[in-house]
Amino acid sequence: MKTSLAAVPYFWTKQVYQDFYQQVTDTDIDTVYLGETVCSKRRSMTLQDWMEIGNLLANKGKQVVLSTMTLLEAESELNYLKKIVQQGDFLIEANDMSAIQVSNQASRPFVAGNAINIYNNQSLNLFNKLGMTRWNIPVELGQEDLKPVIPKAQELGVEFEYQVYGRMPLAYSARCFTARHHDLPKDRCQFKCKDDVEGIAVTTREGDSFAQINGIQTQSGKVSNLLNHWQKLEATGIDYARIVPVAPETTLEVIRALTDAINNNQATVDFTDNTREYCNGYWFQMAGLEMIA
Partner 1 sequence: MELVCPAGNYPSLVKAVDQGADAVYIGFKNATNARHFSGLNFSEKHLHKGIEYAHQNNCKVYCAINTYPRQDGWKTWTSSVDMALDIGIDSLIVADSGIMDYIRSRSDDFPIHLSVQASATNLEALNFYHQNFGIKRAVLPRVLSLKQVTQLAQKSPVEIEVFGFGSLRIMAEGRCYLSSYLTGESPNTQGVCSPSSHVRWEENDGVLKSRLNNLLIDQFEEGENAGYPTLCKGRFEVEGSIEYALEEPTSLNTMDILPELHQAGVVAIKIEGRQRSPAYIETVANVWRKAINAVLKDSEQPTEQDKQKLTALSEGRQTTIGAYERSWQ
Write out the binding residues for partner 1, residues 153-182 only, by CB under 8 A: 168, 170-177, 180-181
Residue 175 has a CB neighbour count (10 Å cut-off) of 11
Decide: is 79 part of the binding site for partner 1 (CB under 8 A): no
Decide: is 187 part of the binding site for partner 1 (CB under 8 A): yes
- In the complex with partner 1, the residue whose CB is nearer, 146 or 261, is 146
CA distances from 154 to 125, 131, 234, 271 (A): 11, 15, 13, 32
Closest CA to 32 of 12, 16, 1, 55: 55
- Pairing status of strand 209-214 against strand 200-203: antiparallel
Decide: is 122 part of the binding site for partner 1 (CB under 8 A): yes
Decide: is 184 part of the binding site for partner 1 (CB under 8 A): no
Q: How far apart are CA 90 and CA 78, in angstroms?
A: 18
Decide: is 52 part of the binding site for partner 1 (CB under 8 A): no
- Cβ within 8 Å of residue 15, ≥6 positions away: none
Q: Do residues 252 and 23 touch, judged by C-beta distance below 8 A?
A: yes
- In the complex with partner 1, the residue whose CB is nearer, 54 or 142, is 142
- In the complex with partner 1, the residue whose CB is nearer, 163 or 259, is 163
Residue from 28, 49, 52, 77 touching partner 1 (CB under 8 A): that is 77
Decide: is 237 part of the binding site for partner 1 (CB under 8 A): no
- In the complex with partner 1, the residue whose CB is nearer, 22 or 285, is 285
Rounded to 5°, the CA angle 281-284-289 comes to 5
Residue from 17, 271, 282, 283 touching partner 1 (CB under 8 A): that is 282
Residue from 119, 155, 267, 273 touching partner 1 (CB under 8 A): that is 119
Q: What is the size of the binding site for partner 1 (CB under 8 A)?
A: 72
